[in-house]
């Protein structure tokens, strides 16, 4: 189901300070030695007790820094960043972060069976990433940009630590996740019935309206959304066929560890996406903690 891009700018975040503190991040010497220096870094940073994948790219060190918060949960933007935002590097330093349980972070540090993914925990991770960027890039503050699930995370981060951010920008901003689920389900069912798409309509009818107890229900709905989105939207850029989703770290950084690029990383990242969705979507719908019970990817790649 196509959805117009909704841009919500919360100008110069002037929100009440929160009480939560960021998890410790390693001290980092500034990466920039001159304003005209370019940046192109890819690697793992120690965040919240695990190694998490961060990429940093920009033409000049004195450009504003944007920290992107991807959607999903579990849909990292890092493999597609150059295709979507490549032109932005002239004016901004762009930072992509594969969140806990997602992408390259999941490939190296998948959550244990007993670990839980919560909005509070992800918010704390995000604040730690922003703190790292301020230290590593010598920036006073960063711009926070969240999309879909990332907009939920972004609002929580901005409310908790407004002192870290120049501004918050939300795209596909989620205001009420429960209302969004119910509206999406009803609209999809109407579209499928009108198109005579008995297969999709049958699957949706078998689920029934939300809320759903089975985390796999979210995958059924998402596949239907993508099917009808594809009828009226441009195809999403691909990171290059079946090639691995990462490249080597072009310039070593003391606090960013290089990734070993192997084909298994791609399949591991895919399992991370499914795990994050199964764990986090019911959490958002019900506001309760849910354990991640499908994280079977290798711990290294």
pLDDT for residue 175 is more than 70: yes
The whole-number pLDDT of residue 167 equals 97
Task: Please tell me whether residues 5 and 131 are part of one structural domain.
Answer: yes
Model confidence pTM above 0.75: no
Question: What's the pLDDT tens digit per position in 68-89?
Answer: 999 988 889 999 999 999 999 9
Query: Is 183 domain-assigned?
Result: yes
Question: What's the pLDDT tens digit per position in 85-111?
Answer: 999 999 999 999 999 999 999 999 888
Is 114 or 288 the better-scoring residue by pLDDT?
114
State the Cα–Cα distance between residues 189 and 224, nearest whole angstrom: 9
pLDDT for residue 208 is more than 60: yes
Query: Is 98 domain-assigned?
Result: yes
> Percent of the chain, pLDDT > 70?
68
pLDDT for residue 57 is more than 70: yes
Query: Is 151 domain-assigned?
Result: yes
The whole-number pLDDT of residue 3 equals 43
Task: Please tell me whether residues 166 and 52 are part of one structural domain.
Answer: yes
Is 190 or 297 the better-scoring residue by pLDDT?
190
The whole-number pLDDT of residue 214 equals 83
The whole-number pLDDT of residue 112 equals 80
State the Cα–Cα distance between residues 151 and 160, nearest whole angstrom: 14
Task: Please tell me whether residues 135 and 23 are part of one structural domain.
Answer: yes
Query: Is 234 domain-assigned?
Result: no
Mean pLDDT of 130-159: 95
Task: Please tell me whether residues 152 and 182 are part of one structural domain.
Answer: no
Handedness of CA 294, 297, 300, 301 (dihedral sign): negative
Confidence of residue 215 (pLDDT cuts 50, 70, 90): confident
Query: Is 47 domain-assigned?
Result: yes
Task: Please tell me whether residues 143 and 124 are part of one structural domain.
Answer: yes
Q: How many domains does the chain have?
A: 2
**Mutual orientation of helices 177-194 and 263-286 as an angle, nearest 10°?**
110
25 Cβ neighbours under 8 A, 6+ residues apart: 45, 46, 47, 128, 129, 131, 132, 135
Mean pLDDT of 264-289: 49
pLDDT for residue 291 is more than 80: no
Task: Please tell me whether residues 295 and 284 are part of one structural domain.
Answer: yes
pLDDT for residue 254 is more than 70: no
Task: Please tell me whether residues 256 and 223 are part of one structural domain.
Answer: no
Q: Is the peptide bond before 211 cis (omega within 30 degrees of 0)?
A: yes
Could you list the residue range(s) of the whole structural domain that residue 210 is in? 178-229
Domain end among 200, 229, 258? 229
Confidence of residue 288 (pLDDT cuts 50, 70, 90): very low
2 burial via Cβ count (<10 Å: 0-12, 13-18, 19+):
exposed
Query: Is 191 domain-assigned?
Result: yes
Task: Please tell me whether residues 157 and 182 are part of one structural domain.
Answer: no
Task: Please tell me whether residues 58 and 188 are part of one structural domain.
Answer: no
Query: Is 16 domain-assigned?
Result: yes
Task: Please tell me whether residues 210 and 119 are part of one structural domain.
Answer: no
State the Cα–Cα distance between residues 201 and 83, nearest whole angstrom: 34
Task: Please tell me whether residues 136 and 150 are part of one structural domain.
Answer: yes
Task: Please tell me whether residues 217 and 246 are part of one structural domain.
Answer: no
Question: What's the pLDDT tens digit per position in 2-32?
Answer: 443 333 333 333 333 332 333 444 555 678 9
């Amino acid at each position: 189901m196509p959805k117009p891009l909704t841009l919500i700018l919360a100008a110069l975040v002037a929100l009440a300070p929160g009480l939560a503190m960021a998890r410790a991040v390693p001290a980092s010497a500034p990466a920039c030695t001159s304003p005209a220096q370019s940046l192109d870094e890819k690697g793992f940073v120690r965040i919240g007790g695990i190694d998490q994948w961060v990429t940093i790219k920009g033409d000049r060190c004195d450009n504003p820094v944007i920290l992107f918060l991807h959607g999903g949960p579990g849909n990292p933007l890092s493999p597609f960043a150059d295709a979507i935002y490549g032109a932005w590097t002239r004016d901004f330093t762009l930072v992509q972060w594969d969140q806990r349980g997602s992408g390259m972070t999941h490939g190296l540090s998948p959550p244990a069976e007993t670990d839980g993914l919560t909005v509070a925990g992800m918010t704390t991770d995000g604040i730690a990433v922003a703190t790292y960027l301020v230290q590593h890039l010598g920036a006073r503050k960063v711009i926070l940009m969240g999309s879909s699930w990332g907009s939920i995370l972004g609002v929580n981060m901005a409310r908790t630590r407004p002192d870290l951010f120049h501004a918050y920008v939300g795209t596909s901003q989620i205001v009420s996740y429960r209302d969004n689920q119910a509206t999406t389900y009803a609209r999809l069912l109407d579209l499928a019935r009108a198109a005579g798409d008995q297969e999709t309509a049958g699957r949706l009818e078998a689920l029934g309206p939300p809320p759903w107890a089975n985390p796999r229900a979210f995958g059924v709905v998402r596949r239907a959304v993508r099917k009808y989105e594809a009828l009226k939207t441009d195809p999403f850029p691909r990171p290059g066929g079946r090639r691995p989703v990462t490249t080597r770290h072009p310039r070593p950084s003391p606090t960013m560890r290089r990734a070993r690029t192997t084909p298994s990383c791609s399949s591991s990242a895919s399992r991370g996406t499914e795990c994050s969705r199964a764990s986090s979507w019911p959490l958002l719908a019900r506001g309760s903690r849910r354990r991640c019970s499908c994280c079977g990817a290798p711990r290294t790649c």
